[in-house]
């Protein structure tokens, strides 16, 4: 691990000022991802700004009737919060499908959004990786790529975003609130994470000197018909090979509204609005579900060891829709 200095910001202004003044500084929240990456010599900030005392630790109602999740609320506090559990069980289930109780007690909502890929080569500093070292190449393209992406990939990177929480947030159409030295802005969740393109080293549409203050959930939580399905190698403590977040509004057996997001398949939580449109107005049956699933995987491409994910994703979508519609 490289040497670094440390300071604890007392308020939001101080945190933003510290990060703006030093382009090699990073925020640290729960530290469950950043510290690992520093130990592995993948990331080497020279200064850490501890943001854990900023008071962004509340879950409150928004004026619109949704919920605002402070960026420093832990994943555990979020999942077990009565309002989240009752109104947004899709989100609670997705969070609880991730990591372990100990990790969820430390991990924060802001840090969860910005956790980095689990690509083996990203962690292995002896191998080329465009995300870790731009321009060096992508070892996964022709290497071990069992856990890699099948949608939205580029010739420069086929990594996936590893979060479970973010898949549910994509389906719920959350909004990310950020602050920089000029003020605040709101980023729709669909625009927050990026596809790799030719800049895979940039994971999110967040400037280096911006801080996430909250994630806002719209009023609609799809609490009657929802499913978070996570397919993984072990029953717990494993990242998703494929995951599916579904929220449905039903009228009898007919689907009135549908939200569908996939994890483990792309550089960002993956939504396909055409697939969602294929569900709306149609009966909740296997034919309808298969049509939507086929639409999603029609754009998929396998790279060898991960090709099995195409059929896995198709089946996972059908199963998740089936369970959500019950």
Ligand X SMILES: Cc1cc2nc3c(=O)[nH]c(=O)nc-3n(C[C@H](O)[C@H](O)[C@H](O)COP(=O)(O)OP(=O)(O)OC[C@H]3O[C@@H](n4cnc5c(N)ncnc54)[C@H](O)[C@@H]3O)c2cc1C
Q: How many residues bind ligand X (CB under 6 A)?
A: 31
Q: What does the radius of gyration of the chain's CA atoms come to, in whole angstroms?
A: 19
- Which of 68, 104, 131, 271 is in the footprint of ligand SF4 by CB under 6 A? 131
Nearer to ligand X, 89 or 98 (CB): 98
Residue 97 CB contacts under 8 Å (≥ 6 apart), including other chains: 164, 228, 230, 240, 243
Nearer to ligand X, 79 or 284 (CB): 79
Query: Rule CB under 6 A: is residue 138 a binding residue for ligand SF4?
Result: yes
Residue 129's binding partner out of ligand SF4, ligand X, none, with CB under 5 to 8 Å set by partner kind: ligand SF4
Backbone angles phi, psi at 251, to 5 degrees: -130, 100
Going by their DSSP bridges, the two strands 183-188 and 59-61 should be labelled as: unpaired
Residue 122's binding partner out of ligand X, ligand SF4, none, with CB under 5 to 8 Å set by partner kind: ligand SF4
Residue 270's binding partner out of ligand X, ligand SF4, none, with CB under 5 to 8 Å set by partner kind: none
In the β-sheet with 47-50, what is the strand arrangement from edge to edge?
A: 5-8, 47-50, 25-28
Q: Give the integer Cα–Cα distance in Å for 310 and 167.
A: 18
Contact pattern from residue 193 through residue 212 relative to ligand SF4, giving x for each residue in contact according to CB under 6 A and a dash for the rest: -------x------------
Q: Which stretch binds ligand SF4 (CB under 6 A): 76-84, 94-102, 130-138, 302-310?
A: 130-138
Q: Give the integer Cα–Cα distance in Å for 241 and 234.
A: 10
Residue 29's binding partner out of ligand SF4, ligand X, none, with CB under 5 to 8 Å set by partner kind: ligand X
Residue 92 is encoded by which pair of tokens? 């609670």
- Give residue number: closest CB to ligand X: 111
Q: What are the C-alpha distances in Å from 316 to residues 46, 48, 136, 202, 263?
A: 43, 40, 35, 29, 11
For residue 158, with 0-12 CB atoms within 10 Å meaning exposed, 13-18 middle and 19 or more buried, which class applies?
A: buried
Query: Rule CB under 6 A: is residue 37 a binding residue for ligand SF4?
Result: no
Backbone angles phi, psi at 5, to 5 degrees: -105, 165
- Tell which positions 174-233 bind ligand X, by CB under 6 A: 211-212
Task: Return the SS3 of 55.
Answer: coil
Residues in the chain: 326
Q: Quote the least distance from Cβ 150 to ligand SF4, whole Å.
A: 12
- Tell which positions 105-134 bind ligand X, by CB under 6 A: 106-108, 110-112, 114-115
Residue 273 is encoded by which pair of tokens? 């609005």
Q: Give the integer Cα–Cα distance in Å for 32 and 155.
A: 30
Q: Quote the least distance from Cβ 296 to ligand X, whole Å.
A: 21
Residue 112's binding partner out of ligand X, ligand SF4, none, with CB under 5 to 8 Å set by partner kind: ligand X
What does the binding site for ligand X look like in residue numbers (CB under 6 A)?
26-34, 36, 51, 71, 75, 98-99, 103, 106-108, 110-112, 114-115, 162-165, 211-212, 239
What does the binding site for ligand SF4 look like in residue numbers (CB under 6 A)?
117, 119, 121-122, 129-131, 138-140, 148, 157-159, 200
């Amino acid at each position: 691990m490289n040497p670094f200095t440390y300071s604890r910001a007392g308020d939001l202004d101080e945190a933003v000022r510290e990060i703006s003044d030093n382009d090699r500084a990073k925020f640290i929240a729960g530290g469950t991802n950043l510290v690992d990456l520093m130990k592995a010599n993948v990331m080497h900030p020279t200064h850490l700004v501890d943001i854990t005392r900023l008071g962004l630790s509340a879950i409150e109602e928004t004026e619109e009737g949704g919920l605002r999740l402070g960026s420093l609320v832990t994943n555990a506090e979020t999942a077990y919060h009565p309002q989240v559990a009752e109104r947004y069980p899709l989100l609670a289930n997705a969070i609880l499908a991730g990591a372990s109780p100990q990790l969820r007690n430390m991990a924060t909502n802001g840090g969860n959004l910005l956790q980095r890929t689990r690509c083996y080569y990203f962690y292995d500093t002896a191998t080329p990786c465009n995300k870790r070292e731009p321009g060096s190449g992508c070892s996964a393209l022709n290497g071990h790529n069992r856990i890699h992406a099948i949608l939205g990939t580029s010739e420069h990177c086929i990594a996936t975003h590893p979060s479970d929480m973010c898949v549910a947030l994509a389906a719920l159409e959350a909004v990310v609130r950020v602050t920089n030295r000029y003020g605040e802005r709101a980023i729709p969740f669909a625009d927050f994470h990026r596809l790799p393109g030719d800049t895979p080293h940039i994971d999110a549409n967040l400037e280096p000197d911006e801080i996430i203050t909250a994630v806002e959930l719209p009023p609609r939580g799809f609490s009657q018909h929802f499913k978070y399905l996570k397919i993984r190698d072990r029953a717990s403590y494993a990242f998703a090979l494929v995951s599916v977040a579904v929220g449905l509004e039903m009228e009898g057996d007919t689907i009135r509204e549908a939200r569908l997001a996939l994890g483990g398949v792309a550089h960002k939580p993956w939504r396909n609005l055409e697939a969602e449109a294929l569900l709306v107005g149609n009966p909740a049956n296997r034919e309808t579900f298969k049509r939507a699933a086929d639409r999603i995987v029609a754009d998929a491409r396998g790279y060898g060891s991960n090709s099995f994910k195409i059929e896995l994703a198709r089946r996972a979508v059908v199963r998740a829709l089936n369970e959500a519609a019950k």
